[in-house]
Amino acid sequence: MAFTQQRRDYFDALDWVTALTTATHVRQLDARTPCADFDVRSLLGHLIGTAHRGLATAAAHLDPGHPHVITNVPDDELASTYATLAASIREAWSRLAGTESVTAPWGSCTALEAARGFTVETVTHGWDLAIATGQPSDAPNGIAGRCLAFAAAIIPDRLRGVMYDVPVAGGVISETEQLAHLLGHKRDALTSVPGQGQRSPS
């Protein structure tokens, strides 16, 4: 049951980000995001790269050399490329069992553990995109709240300051923003200098 729910959360996160990418206008692609190393264009490229890794994890053909950010997709095809990948992910992950061993970008784990990692990243970067483009920023169906129950445990301390920044202290905020804060993402990065501030998870 745990894997069924987690896989549903991953699929719902993909659907949410697909809708966000579809509603993003070309004129917004140069805008800054809460992920300070990325503008909207490179964030979309990273989301596409992450989707490729999610698909490859389920299909057992992970390429360690796959780019962190995909840069060869034309601006007017970013949303459709992500949507196509999301549909393929659904198909591939629907064939997995939760206890099945897979090779994720961070190493061997169960399909359940991999789905948790990809869900956290998809929701967090969905929040980044929503904030940057002025769209509703709360992930649907309680996904973020369930992610908060395990997200801290799947981010090793050794990656703080490398792939993830330190958690951000915050007041009364949504569960989606709490998750983003846990990974070191914050709204005021929108005014930071590119290449400085938060790092992005891979």
The DSSP letter of residue 160 is: B
Amino acid identity at 42: S
Alpha-carbon gap, residue 100 to 115, rounded angstroms: 11
Question: Domains along the chain?
Answer: 2-189 (1.20.120.450)
pLDDT by residue for the chain (202 residues), tens only, comes to 699 999 999 999 999 999 999 999 999 999 999 987 899 999 999 999 999 999 999 998 877 778 889 999 999 999 999 999 999 999 999 999 999 999 998 889 999 999 999 999 999 999 999 999 999 999 999 999 999 999 888 765 544 444 555 556 666 589 999 999 888 888 876 754 443 333 333 3
Give residue-wise pLDDT tens across range 139-151: 999 999 999 999 8
In sequence order, the 6+-apart residues with CB closer than 8 A to the CB of 164 are 155, 183, 184, 199, 201
Question: How many separate helices (H) and strands (E) can be counted in the chain?
Answer: 6, 2
Alpha-carbon gap, residue 113 to 100, rounded angstroms: 10
In this prediction the pTM is 0.88
Query: For position 197, what pLDDT does the model report?
Result: 33
Nearest to 48 by CA among 144, 116, 122, 111: 122
